[in-house]
Amino acid sequence: MDQVSERLTALSPSETLAMSQKSNELKAQGIDIINLSVGEPDFFTPDFIKEAAKKAIDDNFSFYAPAPGFLSLRNAIVDKLKRENQLDYTPDRIVCSNGAKQAVCNVLLSIIDPGDEVIVPAPYWVSYVEMVKLAEGRNVIVPADIEQDFKITPAQLEAAITPRTKALILCSPSNPTGSVYSKEELKGLADVLAGHPNIIILADEIYEHINYIGKHESIAQFENIRERTVIINGVSKAYAMTGWRLGWIAAPRWIAAACNKLQGQYTSSPSNVAQKAAEAAYLGPQDCVETMRRAFERRRNLIVQLASDIPGLKVRQPQGAFYLFPDCSYYIGKSFKGKTIANSAELAMYLLEEGHVAAVGGLAFGAPNCIRFSYAASDENLTEAMARVKKAIEILI
């Protein structure tokens, strides 16, 4: 008998992982699929990082580590925050987890009581709203469409705040839109939040290094909200280390302590080998980060140019991350062989089955008019994928 809890029944599966899984299944059947669904760098982890991991094994890093991670790794993260972000932290304010994904979830589970509201600007990364549900909080979605570059305004933020607002989740550079908030825009939001001292700000900066407009700006730089801002980051995107599962928070001491306690009861620390690899990543030469960023920028330019050639798609040039998020509403309601495409999830399924390109419908990101293509793929694959999308989409009537 199925006795899955109500909490789990209410949870949606991750659409990004599901589309990737589906694409892999079709590939296994021998169908030539180009997978632009899951968002992860297609590069190999740099050699010096892999060497550090091998050394950790040989040096017998095989015993339990402290729940928040080795002090040496947390010190390397403190150094990174000083060097790259000009922010002062101490290692007791850092908690390392199994990916930034667990880091976000830890924070939400640590601060949300049932019924607390969490402001989530849409389009949002798929997992935020599900994690809020897990924590028994209420999502308050603030929509920002392509005309406003997918970024919320201070007035929108102010209007969404109620006495029950507990947190805001802000992602810049953004998955899925690729939008980047400027320093002035962040200051505008910080000034609103300054008037509401109980709101915790979760600043998801996992795409910090994949930025095409210059220096990364963290909302934690503003003193009026710094004491209640939690930075979320990790090595997945910057160092091509998605499978190593190493993310972290830099947080107020009480939130770090709460996450430490929580994690101590259900996962302990992330894997020692991944921790030593991440430590090497932060302490080692950083030129690999810039090399990969440049490659992403070139691909961004390529996919923007190719997608702009597809009639009906509304394309905006992303300023960071590695996603193109065009508005495809022109094609919603059209049909193929008599079957109507009712929403962007169905459009993504159509592109997979008929065009053999895997993308993710915007519905899962709270943006039913859009579709997400990850351009962390080779130039050849991007060119072929956009040709396939064009061919498949043009025959819809």
Site residues, ligand PMP (CB under 6 A): 39, 99-101, 125, 171, 175, 204, 206, 234, 236, 242, 247
Burial 28-66 (b: 16+ CB within 10 A, else e): eeeeebbbbbbbbbbeebbeebeebbeebeeeebeeebe
Q: What are the CA-CA distances from residue 102 to residues 37, 165, 258 (Å)? A: 21, 22, 14
Residue positions counted in the chain: 397
Min separation Cβ 175 and ligand PMP, Å? 4
20-26: long-range pairs with CB below 8 Å, 24+: 20/358, 22/352, 22/358, 23/352, 23/358, 26/352, 26/356
Q: Select from ligand PMP, ligand GLU, none the partner in contact with residue 17, using the beta carbon and a kind-dependent cut-off of 5 to 8 Å.
A: ligand GLU
**Cα–chain-centroid distance for residue 96?**
17
- The dihedrals phi and psi of 53, each to the nearest 5 degrees, come to -70, -40
- Does 16 bind ligand GLU (CB under 6 A)? Our answer is yes
Look up residue 211 and give its DSSP letter: B
- CA proximity to 362, closest of 130, 127, 126: 126
Look up residue 63 and give its DSSP letter: S
Min separation Cβ 299 and ligand PMP, Å? 17
- Does 39 bind ligand GLU (CB under 6 A)? Our answer is yes
User: Taking CB under 6 A as the rule, which mask of x and - marks residues 82-121 in contact with ligand GLU?
Assistant: -------------------x--------------------
User: Taking CB under 6 A as the rule, which mask of x and - marks residues 130-169 in contact with ligand GLU?
Assistant: ----------------------------------------
**Residue of 14, 182, 308, 381 interacting with ligand GLU (CB under 6 A):** 14
Query: Which C-beta is closer to ligand GLU: that of 14 or that of 153?
Result: 14
Query: Which C-beta is closer to ligand GLU: that of 174 or that of 218?
Result: 174
- CA proximity to 299, closest of 182, 173, 209, 210: 210
Min separation Cβ 232 and ligand GLU, Å? 12
Q: Select from ligand GLU, ligand PMP, none the partner in contact with residue 247, using the beta carbon and a kind-dependent cut-off of 5 to 8 Å.
A: ligand PMP
Look up residue 134 and give its DSSP letter: H
Min separation Cβ 128 and ligand PMP, Å? 8
The residues of the shown chain that bind ligand GLU, judged by CB under 6 A, are: 14, 16-17, 38-40, 101, 126-127, 175
